[in-house]
Amino acid sequence: MKRISILFVCMGNICRSPLAEGIFTHLVDEAGIADCFELDSAGTGGWHEGQHPDRRSIATAKDHGIDISRQRARRITAKDFDDFDLVLAMDRANIDELHRLSPGATNIRLFGEFALATGEDIPDPYFGSSSEFELVYARLLTGCRKLLETLGTDKASWSGKISSVR
């Protein structure tokens, strides 16, 4: 069976998307189904390429038993739109940029719509305090739990749920 591939995307790939990747990785590890997923994160901008996540993202994740310190920021590539079943953007500005980069891509979704079903943007905490990183973590955790629930743990049900994304 094909693995479900999800790419989490924010602007610089140092705050929100590494947290989302770390949270979802942790959830599938806990569920014992990590081998069924391919997970990554990227940014629409390349300012932080090769850097570790923001120290506040690392600390927030660590406070919840998740280690994202080994992740490295990267910029999204044209190949990513073909390689990933889902490209989940953290906000509408990143949705717009992703559609600009790949106008025909049908796998781009807003995290707040696809995972949370609220349509909300996940705010960028970069210029905020540690408490704002904690709030972002809470929204991402809720969304990642719902995303895993939506995809289900029944492997037979995955193909239908993901095929509607492409």
DSSP per position, 70-90? T----B--HHHHHH-SEEEES
Active site residues: 10, 16, 124
pLDDT average, residue stretch 88-109: 97
pLDDT at 6 over 60: yes
**CATH code matching the domain that covers 4-157, chosen among 3.40.50.2300, 3.40.190.10, 3.20.20.70, 3.30.950.10:** 3.40.50.2300
CB 105 within 8 A of CB 79: no
Q: Where are the domains of the chain?
A: 4-157
pLDDT average, residue stretch 48-73: 97
Higher-pLDDT residue of 12, 161: 12
Reference 56, options 7, 124, 8; nearest CA is 124
Reference 62, options 98, 23, 30, 100; nearest CA is 23
pLDDT in the model for residue 1: 55
Distances (CA, A) of 23 to 28, 114, 120: 9, 16, 19
- Helical ranges in the chain per DSSP H: 16-31, 55-63, 78-83, 92-101, 111-114, 130-151, 155-163
Size (the chain), residues: 166
pLDDT average, residue stretch 77-96: 98
pLDDT at 166 over 70: no
pLDDT at 157 over 90: no
Q: Does pTM surpass 0.75?
A: yes
